[in-house]
Structure 1
Amino acid sequence: MSETARSHPAVERVEAALLDAGVEPRVRWFETATPTAAAAAAELGVEVGAIANSLVFTLDGEPLLVMTSGAHRVDTAFLGERLGGRIRRADPETVKAATGQTIGGVAPLGHPAPLRTVVDVSLAGYPEIWAAAGHAHTVFPTTFDELLRLTHGTPTPVTP
């Protein structure tokens, strides 16, 4: 992306939320979209497990943000049982309404309202993790502990 194109309302909301939380926003913009953990990891030169995917599901009809390691998939039956309800993948309209962002660039923060969030405990194994910053061309670095604080998330295994 050109320097003049390195602005987007969703990214600006993420940067503002980071600043409000006392975190200096260090958003990295990519020339091409990195909508998957594998693409982001390749672009950054890190293990795919260090990518914190922001996935929106519904838990008994309510939006649920699951921050999961890019190294594996969420086991919805397992996680639903842990959380005491039924989990389904949210459709694009639900994702946009809940986060103000589109699939492929959903950030862990900067949403219109707080979302119930769970954070995959396997992310704790990485000293630095990367999350989308509101757009498919962006990511920002964080840590497991900081991600928990930023999202008010609950550390939870998402696979057996």
Structure 2
Amino acid sequence: MENANQQKLPDTAQRVAELLREIGHDKSVVMLPETGKTSAEAAAGLGCSVAEIAKSIVFRRLSDDAAVMVVASGSNRVDEAKVAAIVGALGKADARFVKERIGYAIGGVCPIGHASKTVMLIDQDLLQLESVWAAAGHPHAVFNLTPQQLVAMTAAPVADVALKV
């Protein structure tokens, strides 16, 4: 029988909750009272540091039009040159591209359950944290996991993707 809380989830967040349940993840999807579209908003709503927000940034790979997702610490800016050196030249991904290729709207892009094959990288700085919060398919929906669980769920390589200032 489904949890009553999960019945109230928006459709995309419900889909993420079901994926998490299918893979045996032990944490529920949490709905934030305010939007979690930015790392700072999500951190404020959760009472955690901005670094603990696992933000998903999507690019378009120029050679084959593939979606490239970088899951980065919320306190880091992604260095496009570092990402491009790993996966190939990148372009901007507009909202339509993200929705079509990934399956989620910007502001709620989840690291799992994509609409099509996605090239992924995980920010090595996330592995320094005990746990992180990732978007669960909706701007108000998130779920908690360890960085190791994130790596296991996505099978994405861990890389140095942060812009050093």
Q: 2:75 & 2:123 partners in 1: Cα distance?
A: 11
- Find out whether 1:70 has 2:62 as its counterpart: no
Displacement of 1:127 in angstroms is: 0.1
Q: How many residues align?
A: 157
TM-score between both structures, scaled by the size of structure 2:
0.88
Displacement of 1:18 in angstroms is: 1.1
Match of 1:19 in 2: 21
3-state secondary structure, aligned to 1:104 = coil
Equivalent pair of 1:52/1:130 in contact (CA under 8 Å) = yes
CA shift in 2, pair 1:145/1:34, >3 Å = same
Q: 1:4 & 1:122 partners in 2: Cα distance?
A: 31
Displacement of 1:53 in angstroms is: 0.2
TM-score between both structures, scaled by the size of structure 1:
0.91
Displacement of 1:109 in angstroms is: 0.9
Q: 1:50 & 1:89 partners in 2: Cα distance?
A: 25
The equivalences for 1:127-142 within 5 A come to 127-142=130-145
> Match for 1:67: what amino acid?
V
> Match for 1:96: what amino acid?
K
Structure 1 unpaired stretches of 5+: none
Q: 1:14 & 1:110 partners in 2: Cα distance?
A: 7
- Aligned counterpart for 2:49 among listed residues 47, 50, 72: 47
Structure 2 unpaired stretches of 5+: none
- Find out whether 1:34 has 2:36 as its counterpart: yes
> Match for 1:37: what amino acid?
S
3-state secondary structure, aligned to 1:106 = coil
How large is the Cα RMSD of the aligned pairs? 1.7
Equivalent pair of 1:34/1:40 in contact (CA under 8 Å) = yes
Displacement of 1:6 in angstroms is: 3.1
Equivalent pair of 1:65/1:116 in contact (CA under 8 Å) = yes
Identical aligned residues as a percent: 34
Displacement of 1:58 in angstroms is: 1.4
Displacement of 1:101 in angstroms is: 0.8
